[in-house]
Structure 1
Amino acid sequence: MPDAMPDILPRETVLTIRDTCLCLAAQRAARRLARRFDAALRPFGLTNGQFSLMVALNQPEPPPIGRLAPFLGMDPSTLTAAVKPLARRGLLTIEPDPEDRRSRRLRITPQGVALMREAVEVWRETHAALEASLDDGVADALRRGLAQMA
Protein backbone atom coordinates (compact mmCIF):
# COMPACT_ATOMS: atom_id res chain seq x y z
CA MET A 1 0.00 0.00 0.00
CA PRO A 2 1.46 3.39 -0.95
CA ASP A 3 2.39 5.84 1.78
CA ALA A 4 -0.49 7.97 2.96
CA MET A 5 -0.48 11.64 2.00
CA PRO A 6 1.16 13.57 4.85
CA ASP A 7 -0.85 16.22 6.61
CA ILE A 8 -0.20 19.54 4.93
CA LEU A 9 -1.06 23.11 5.75
CA PRO A 10 -4.43 24.38 4.63
CA ARG A 11 -4.29 26.09 1.24
CA GLU A 12 -5.51 29.39 2.70
CA THR A 13 -2.54 29.41 5.08
CA VAL A 14 -0.12 28.93 2.21
CA LEU A 15 -1.82 31.70 0.21
CA THR A 16 -1.79 34.07 3.19
CA ILE A 17 1.94 33.53 3.68
CA ARG A 18 2.57 33.89 -0.05
CA ASP A 19 0.65 37.16 -0.16
CA THR A 20 1.72 38.76 3.15
CA CYS A 21 5.14 37.47 4.24
CA LEU A 22 7.61 40.35 4.12
CA CYS A 23 10.58 38.00 4.28
CA LEU A 24 9.39 35.97 1.29
CA ALA A 25 8.61 39.12 -0.69
CA ALA A 26 12.02 40.61 0.11
CA GLN A 27 13.82 37.37 -0.82
CA ARG A 28 12.00 37.09 -4.13
CA ALA A 29 12.64 40.74 -4.99
CA ALA A 30 16.29 40.48 -3.92
CA ARG A 31 16.82 37.47 -6.16
CA ARG A 32 15.27 39.25 -9.15
CA LEU A 33 17.38 42.35 -8.51
CA ALA A 34 20.50 40.26 -8.04
CA ARG A 35 19.97 38.47 -11.37
CA ARG A 36 19.44 41.80 -13.13
CA PHE A 37 22.60 43.39 -11.75
CA ASP A 38 24.63 40.16 -12.05
CA ALA A 39 23.82 40.15 -15.77
CA ALA A 40 24.76 43.83 -16.15
CA LEU A 41 28.05 43.38 -14.30
CA ARG A 42 29.00 40.04 -15.90
CA PRO A 43 31.20 41.71 -18.60
CA PHE A 44 33.40 42.98 -15.75
CA GLY A 45 33.62 39.56 -14.11
CA LEU A 46 31.73 40.86 -11.07
CA THR A 47 28.58 39.81 -9.28
CA ASN A 48 26.36 42.44 -7.70
CA GLY A 49 27.71 41.40 -4.28
CA GLN A 50 31.31 41.83 -5.40
CA PHE A 51 30.42 45.20 -6.93
CA SER A 52 28.92 46.37 -3.60
CA LEU A 53 32.00 45.13 -1.76
CA MET A 54 34.33 46.98 -4.13
CA VAL A 55 32.29 50.18 -3.76
CA ALA A 56 32.56 49.87 0.03
CA LEU A 57 36.36 49.68 -0.27
CA ASN A 58 36.55 52.98 -2.12
CA GLN A 59 37.73 55.04 0.85
CA PRO A 60 41.05 56.61 1.85
CA GLU A 61 41.79 54.14 4.67
CA PRO A 62 41.24 50.42 4.14
CA PRO A 63 38.41 49.25 6.40
CA PRO A 64 38.78 46.30 8.76
CA ILE A 65 36.78 43.23 7.80
CA GLY A 66 34.99 43.36 11.15
CA ARG A 67 33.60 46.82 10.38
CA LEU A 68 32.90 46.17 6.71
CA ALA A 69 30.98 42.92 7.20
CA PRO A 70 28.00 44.45 9.09
CA PHE A 71 27.85 47.33 6.61
CA LEU A 72 27.40 44.78 3.82
CA GLY A 73 25.00 42.66 5.89
CA MET A 74 27.46 39.75 6.03
CA ASP A 75 29.29 37.88 8.74
CA PRO A 76 33.10 38.24 8.72
CA SER A 77 33.76 34.65 7.59
CA THR A 78 31.42 35.03 4.60
CA LEU A 79 33.09 38.32 3.71
CA THR A 80 36.53 36.72 3.98
CA ALA A 81 35.47 34.02 1.53
CA ALA A 82 33.96 36.63 -0.81
CA VAL A 83 37.14 38.68 -1.05
CA LYS A 84 39.43 35.81 -2.06
CA PRO A 85 38.50 35.72 -5.77
CA LEU A 86 38.79 39.51 -5.95
CA ALA A 87 42.21 39.37 -4.31
CA ARG A 88 43.34 36.64 -6.74
CA ARG A 89 42.36 38.97 -9.59
CA GLY A 90 44.42 41.78 -8.08
CA LEU A 91 41.36 43.99 -7.48
CA LEU A 92 41.95 44.27 -3.74
CA THR A 93 44.55 43.36 -1.16
CA ILE A 94 44.13 41.77 2.25
CA GLU A 95 46.45 43.41 4.77
CA PRO A 96 47.12 42.94 8.47
CA ASP A 97 45.49 45.62 10.61
CA PRO A 98 48.32 47.72 12.11
CA GLU A 99 46.20 48.26 15.24
CA ASP A 100 45.28 44.58 15.70
CA ARG A 101 47.53 42.05 13.95
CA ARG A 102 44.81 39.37 14.29
CA SER A 103 42.46 41.45 12.16
CA ARG A 104 42.62 42.14 8.41
CA ARG A 105 41.92 45.22 6.33
CA LEU A 106 40.85 45.32 2.70
CA ARG A 107 42.31 47.81 0.24
CA ILE A 108 41.11 48.39 -3.30
CA THR A 109 44.00 48.34 -5.79
CA PRO A 110 44.54 50.71 -8.73
CA GLN A 111 43.40 47.85 -11.00
CA GLY A 112 40.24 47.54 -8.88
CA VAL A 113 39.57 51.28 -9.12
CA ALA A 114 40.02 51.17 -12.90
CA LEU A 115 37.56 48.28 -13.22
CA MET A 116 35.07 50.02 -10.93
CA ARG A 117 35.19 53.22 -12.98
CA GLU A 118 33.88 51.21 -15.94
CA ALA A 119 31.45 49.07 -13.94
CA VAL A 120 29.89 52.09 -12.21
CA GLU A 121 28.73 53.46 -15.55
CA VAL A 122 26.92 50.21 -16.34
CA TRP A 123 25.49 50.14 -12.80
CA ARG A 124 24.19 53.72 -13.29
CA GLU A 125 22.48 52.79 -16.56
CA THR A 126 20.99 49.61 -15.11
CA HIS A 127 19.85 51.35 -11.95
CA ALA A 128 18.30 54.25 -13.89
CA ALA A 129 16.39 51.81 -16.10
CA LEU A 130 15.17 49.93 -13.03
CA GLU A 131 13.96 53.09 -11.31
CA ALA A 132 12.31 54.30 -14.52
CA SER A 133 10.36 51.02 -14.66
CA LEU A 134 8.81 51.69 -11.25
CA ASP A 135 5.87 53.95 -10.49
CA ASP A 136 6.71 57.40 -9.12
CA GLY A 137 7.89 57.29 -5.53
CA VAL A 138 8.23 53.50 -5.33
CA ALA A 139 12.05 53.45 -5.31
CA ASP A 140 12.24 56.04 -2.54
CA ALA A 141 9.53 54.26 -0.54
CA LEU A 142 11.43 50.97 -0.90
CA ARG A 143 14.67 52.54 0.31
CA ARG A 144 12.92 54.11 3.30
CA GLY A 145 11.08 50.91 4.17
CA LEU A 146 14.15 48.72 3.88
CA ALA A 147 16.20 51.17 5.99
CA GLN A 148 13.62 50.84 8.78
CA MET A 149 14.25 47.09 8.90
CA ALA A 150 17.92 47.56 9.75
Structure 2
Amino acid sequence: MGPTPTNLDDPCNNLALRKAARYLGATYDKVLASVGLRATQFSILHKLSVHGEMTITSLAEVIAMDRTTMASNLKPLAREGLVTVEPSAADRRARIATITPEGLSRLDAALPLWRDVQTRFEESFGAEEAARLRASLGAVLHTGFQPWAE
Protein backbone atom coordinates (compact mmCIF):
# COMPACT_ATOMS: atom_id res chain seq x y z
CA MET A 1 0.00 0.00 0.00
CA GLY A 2 1.30 3.49 -0.90
CA PRO A 3 1.84 6.46 1.37
CA THR A 4 -1.17 8.02 3.03
CA PRO A 5 -2.21 11.19 1.20
CA THR A 6 -2.08 14.35 3.27
CA ASN A 7 -3.85 17.61 2.68
CA LEU A 8 -1.08 20.10 1.99
CA ASP A 9 -3.40 22.96 1.03
CA ASP A 10 -3.72 24.53 4.48
CA PRO A 11 -0.15 24.42 5.84
CA CYS A 12 1.67 24.90 2.52
CA ASN A 13 3.29 28.34 2.63
CA ASN A 14 4.26 28.13 -1.03
CA LEU A 15 0.72 27.40 -2.25
CA ALA A 16 -0.84 30.10 -0.08
CA LEU A 17 1.71 32.67 -1.27
CA ARG A 18 1.35 31.70 -4.94
CA LYS A 19 -2.45 31.78 -4.81
CA ALA A 20 -2.42 35.28 -3.33
CA ALA A 21 0.31 36.41 -5.74
CA ARG A 22 -1.63 35.12 -8.77
CA TYR A 23 -4.85 36.75 -7.53
CA LEU A 24 -3.34 40.16 -6.82
CA GLY A 25 -0.91 39.98 -9.75
CA ALA A 26 -3.76 39.31 -12.19
CA THR A 27 -5.60 42.31 -10.74
CA TYR A 28 -2.62 44.61 -11.35
CA ASP A 29 -2.01 43.07 -14.80
CA LYS A 30 -5.64 43.65 -15.82
CA VAL A 31 -5.55 47.33 -14.84
CA LEU A 32 -2.10 48.02 -16.33
CA ALA A 33 -2.98 46.29 -19.63
CA SER A 34 -4.68 49.50 -20.80
CA VAL A 35 -1.22 51.13 -21.01
CA GLY A 36 0.43 48.01 -22.43
CA LEU A 37 2.27 46.88 -19.30
CA ARG A 38 2.23 43.89 -17.02
CA ALA A 39 2.79 44.32 -13.30
CA THR A 40 6.36 42.99 -13.47
CA GLN A 41 7.18 45.39 -16.31
CA PHE A 42 5.73 48.27 -14.28
CA SER A 43 7.97 47.29 -11.33
CA ILE A 44 11.05 47.13 -13.56
CA LEU A 45 10.34 50.55 -15.06
CA HIS A 46 9.69 51.99 -11.60
CA LYS A 47 12.96 50.62 -10.16
CA LEU A 48 14.90 51.98 -13.15
CA SER A 49 13.23 55.38 -12.79
CA VAL A 50 14.27 55.53 -9.12
CA HIS A 51 17.77 54.04 -9.38
CA GLY A 52 18.78 55.20 -12.85
CA GLU A 53 20.80 52.72 -14.84
CA MET A 54 21.35 49.33 -13.21
CA THR A 55 23.10 46.13 -14.15
CA ILE A 56 20.73 43.29 -14.99
CA THR A 57 22.13 41.45 -11.95
CA SER A 58 21.42 44.29 -9.49
CA LEU A 59 17.98 44.91 -11.03
CA ALA A 60 17.20 41.20 -10.63
CA GLU A 61 18.29 41.39 -6.98
CA VAL A 62 16.04 44.36 -6.10
CA ILE A 63 13.07 42.71 -7.84
CA ALA A 64 13.92 39.27 -6.27
CA MET A 65 14.21 37.46 -9.58
CA ASP A 66 16.90 35.32 -11.15
CA ARG A 67 19.13 37.06 -13.69
CA THR A 68 17.99 34.96 -16.67
CA THR A 69 14.31 35.71 -16.00
CA MET A 70 15.13 39.41 -15.61
CA ALA A 71 16.94 39.42 -18.96
CA SER A 72 13.86 37.80 -20.54
CA ASN A 73 11.57 40.39 -18.94
CA LEU A 74 13.71 43.23 -20.30
CA LYS A 75 13.51 42.03 -23.92
CA PRO A 76 9.92 43.17 -24.67
CA LEU A 77 10.57 46.46 -22.86
CA ALA A 78 13.65 47.01 -25.03
CA ARG A 79 11.74 46.06 -28.21
CA GLU A 80 9.13 48.71 -27.36
CA GLY A 81 11.85 51.30 -26.71
CA LEU A 82 10.99 51.63 -23.01
CA VAL A 83 14.46 50.56 -21.83
CA THR A 84 17.90 50.15 -23.32
CA VAL A 85 20.18 47.24 -22.43
CA GLU A 86 23.83 47.75 -23.34
CA PRO A 87 27.21 46.41 -22.25
CA SER A 88 28.78 48.29 -19.35
CA ALA A 89 31.71 50.55 -20.19
CA ALA A 90 33.41 49.51 -16.93
CA ASP A 91 32.87 45.75 -17.30
CA ARG A 92 31.99 44.43 -20.76
CA ARG A 93 30.54 41.26 -19.19
CA ALA A 94 27.91 43.28 -17.32
CA ARG A 95 24.85 44.63 -19.12
CA ILE A 96 23.27 47.91 -18.07
CA ALA A 97 19.52 48.55 -18.23
CA THR A 98 18.33 52.17 -18.49
CA ILE A 99 14.82 53.57 -18.74
CA THR A 100 14.22 55.71 -21.84
CA PRO A 101 12.09 58.87 -22.11
CA GLU A 102 9.38 56.65 -23.67
CA GLY A 103 9.67 54.33 -20.67
CA LEU A 104 9.24 57.26 -18.27
CA SER A 105 6.20 58.39 -20.24
CA ARG A 106 4.65 54.90 -20.08
CA LEU A 107 5.40 54.73 -16.35
CA ASP A 108 3.72 58.12 -15.85
CA ALA A 109 0.63 56.81 -17.67
CA ALA A 110 0.61 53.67 -15.52
CA LEU A 111 1.11 55.32 -12.12
CA PRO A 112 -2.50 56.51 -11.62
CA LEU A 113 -3.77 53.03 -12.57
CA TRP A 114 -1.35 51.40 -10.13
CA ARG A 115 -2.33 53.88 -7.39
CA ASP A 116 -5.99 53.05 -7.96
CA VAL A 117 -5.40 49.31 -7.44
CA GLN A 118 -3.25 50.05 -4.38
CA THR A 119 -6.02 52.21 -2.90
CA ARG A 120 -8.78 49.71 -3.67
CA PHE A 121 -6.76 46.84 -2.18
CA GLU A 122 -5.99 48.79 0.99
CA GLU A 123 -9.62 49.86 1.35
CA SER A 124 -10.74 46.24 1.05
CA PHE A 125 -7.92 44.56 2.99
CA GLY A 126 -7.12 47.39 5.41
CA ALA A 127 -4.22 49.85 5.16
CA GLU A 128 -2.54 48.67 8.37
CA GLU A 129 -3.04 45.03 7.43
CA ALA A 130 -1.55 45.71 3.97
CA ALA A 131 1.47 47.39 5.58
CA ARG A 132 1.92 44.37 7.88
CA LEU A 133 1.55 42.05 4.88
CA ARG A 134 4.29 43.91 2.95
CA ALA A 135 6.56 43.79 6.02
CA SER A 136 5.95 40.05 6.48
CA LEU A 137 6.54 39.33 2.80
CA GLY A 138 9.70 41.46 2.88
CA ALA A 139 10.92 39.41 5.85
CA VAL A 140 10.46 36.22 3.81
CA LEU A 141 13.33 37.44 1.62
CA HIS A 142 15.66 37.24 4.64
CA THR A 143 14.98 33.65 5.74
CA GLY A 144 18.32 32.32 4.52
CA PHE A 145 17.36 30.52 1.33
CA GLN A 146 19.42 31.12 -1.79
CA PRO A 147 17.06 30.19 -4.64
CA TRP A 148 19.17 31.77 -7.40
CA ALA A 149 22.64 30.89 -6.16
CA GLU A 150 24.91 29.57 -8.89
- The 5 Å alignment of 1:12-31 reads 13-14=6-7, 17-31=8-22
- For 1:135 and 1:18, the matched residues in 2 are separated by 25
1:32 aligns to 2:53 (yes or no):
no
Mark the runs of 5 or more structure 1 residues left unpaired by the alignment. 1-5
Q: Which has the larger radius of gyration?
A: 1
- For 2:14 and 2:23, the matched residues in 1 are separated by 14
Where does residue 80 of structure 1 map in the other structure? 71
Where does residue 92 of structure 1 map in the other structure? 83
| Total equivalences in the alignment | 141
CA RMSD of aligned residues (A): 1.5
Q: TM-score, normalised by structure 2?
A: 0.88
1:105 aligns to 2:93 (yes or no):
no
Where does residue 116 of structure 2 map in the other structure? 125
Where does residue 144 of structure 2 map in the other structure? none
Pairwise CA distance, 1:9: 3.8
Identity rate, percent? 36
CA contact (8 A) 2:52 2:99 kept: no
Deviations 1:23-78 (A, max 9, x none): 11100000001110000000111110111111111136400111111111111111
The SS at the match of 1:57 is helix
Pairwise CA distance, 1:133: 0.4
- For 1:135 and 1:32, the matched residues in 2 are separated by 17
Question: CA 1:115 to 1:132, structure 2 compared with 1: closer, same or farther past 3 Å?
Answer: same
- For 1:44 and 1:19, the matched residues in 2 are separated by 37
Spell out structure 1 runs of 4+ moving beyond 2 A: 6-10
Mark the runs of 5 or more structure 2 residues left unpaired by the alignment. 142-150
The SS at the match of 2:134 is helix
- For 1:20 and 1:60, the matched residues in 2 are separated by 38
Choose from 22, 33, 38 the match for 1:47.
38
Deviations 1:93-134 (A, max 9, x none): 012111101110101000110110110111001110011001
Pairwise CA distance, 1:7: 4.1
1:140 aligns to 2:131 (yes or no):
yes
